[in-house]
């Protein structure tokens, strides 16, 4: 009796799955009779998304290599330049931007490493003048043996990156985590 019930259950289940898949496929076919080549002739459109006039964002830097901070800072540049340029023309004072640093990139902010990371530090100073706050995890600073005197003057040391992250999220900040990969192919090779 158990085998019959199991067989009946499996038969009903398979029947419904087959019927659902067939019905789903029929109901989700394109309504027009266009072909792929006709779709290929269409042109993409530029869209100016109507972004809000006030932006609140936290960039979380937690990188596995200190030098990757240069690529991560391009994310910040892309964000800010898009909003500062036309058609948005958003003034930097309407952008509340925090960069939270708690990975190996913390060494780029140590004064003793300035010569090695000069370009990144100069870029961070520039953004700090536009109102971006650079916050370093105090726990990470302790791990590296750094104190306040070891960092550049534009750096703010906070107790814990994790607690800081949770705090700003509850304040309505969007979180962006730059993903920095090693480039293995040129654009021309993979285009």
Tell me which of 3.40.710.10, 3.40.1260.10, 3.40.640.10, 3.30.70.260 is the CATH number of domain 55-176. Answer: 3.40.1260.10
In tens, the pLDDT along 61-120 reads 999 999 999 999 999 999 999 999 999 999 998 899 999 999 999 999 999 999 999 999
C-alpha 163/C-alpha 143 separation (Å) is 17
Report pLDDT for 52. Answer: 81
Position 11 confidence tier, pLDDT thresholds 50, 70, 90: very low
What token pair was written down for 170? 């509850």
> Residue ranges of the domains in the chain?
55-176
Report pLDDT for 132. Answer: 98
């Amino acid at each position: 009796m158990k085998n019959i019930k199991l067989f009946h259950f499996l038969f009903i289940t398979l029947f419904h799955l087959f019927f659902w898949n067939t019905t789903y496929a029929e109901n989700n076919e394109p309504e027009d009779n266009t072909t792929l080549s006709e779709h290929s002739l269409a042109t993409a459109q530029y869209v100016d998304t109507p972004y809000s006039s006030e932006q609140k964002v936290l960039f979380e830097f937690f990188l596995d290599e200190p030098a990757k901070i240069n690529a991560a800072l391009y994310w910040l540049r892309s964000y800010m330049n898009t909003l500062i340029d036309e058609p948005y023309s958003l003034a930097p004072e309407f952008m509340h931007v925090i960069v939270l640093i708690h990975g190996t990139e913390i060494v780029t902010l140590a004064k003793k490493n300035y010569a090695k990371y000069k370009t990144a530090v100069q870029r961070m100073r520039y953004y700090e003048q536009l109102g971006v706050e650079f916050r370093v995890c105090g726990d990470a600073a302790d791990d590296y043996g750094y104190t306040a005197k070891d960092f550049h003057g534009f750096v703010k040391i906070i107790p814990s990156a994790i607690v800081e992250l949770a705090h700003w999220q509850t304040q309505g900040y969007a979180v962006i985590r730059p993903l920095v990969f090693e480039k293995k192919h040129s654009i021309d090779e993979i285009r």
